[in-house]
A and B are shown apart, each in its own frame.
Chain A
């Protein structure tokens, strides 16, 4: 079974509108972290936002917010006021393990390709 599922291979959004990229995860570990990364066409991987499994509030970083629904095991990324530069692949990832302790590795989803239309 996949640990990270991103069901949207591709998404389109109009510039200046908000968009939600879906991510569901599967783990039996009570301690885990959820991450979103952006990969533009140039290829680099850019960290966007992080949510810990014990965090009480949803994470926010500028125009990025993470809609964390623990009971549903979902960690959707919301991008507000989309910009042309937001066009990229977006990867959801999970790290299992002791919170704040052992690092463990990231398990990545297949990614969602976001295209922002002018």
Chain B
């Protein structure tokens, strides 16, 4: 079975540029989560969806961050404009109902 697929695996860009991270959840899963991992703050939830509807976006740092889930098999996390402090590993995870979340391999984002 295919797991959660994230792209790109690595992204290096200059500050001010728009960054789009992509995620394909496991087929049939009804929950999708975006997490960010940094050395200082550890793993923190940014936003999660249930049946494509955003449920809790209280973890989104500021208006520069936005996330969408246009259908059950695709989600994006966008940062515009990007800043060096956004550098982190961004994980997407999905789950079926209350089952454990399965994570993608992450996107390592570096903003110069």
Contact = CB atoms under 8 A, between A and B. Distances in A.
A106 B98 contact: no
A103 B98 contact: yes
B46 to A, nearest CB: 10
Contact of B98 (A46, A100, A105, A107): A100
A103 B31 contact: yes
Category for how many chain B residues contact A: 20 to 34
A111 B42 contact: yes
A44 B42 contact: no
Contact of A47 (B43, B50, B100): B100
A44 B106 contact: yes
Contacts of A35: 100-101
Category for how many chain A residues contact B: 20 to 34
A105 B43 contact: no
A43 B107 CA distance: 10
B19 interface: no
Nearest to A100: B98
Contacts of B42: 108-111
Interface stretch (B60-68, B69-77, B79-87, B89-97): B89-97
5 contacts: A33-B98, A43-B106, A44-B103, A50-B100, A105-B56
Task: Give the 4 A-B residue pairs with the shortest CB-CB distance, closest first.
Answer: A45-B103, A108-B43, A105-B45, A44-B105
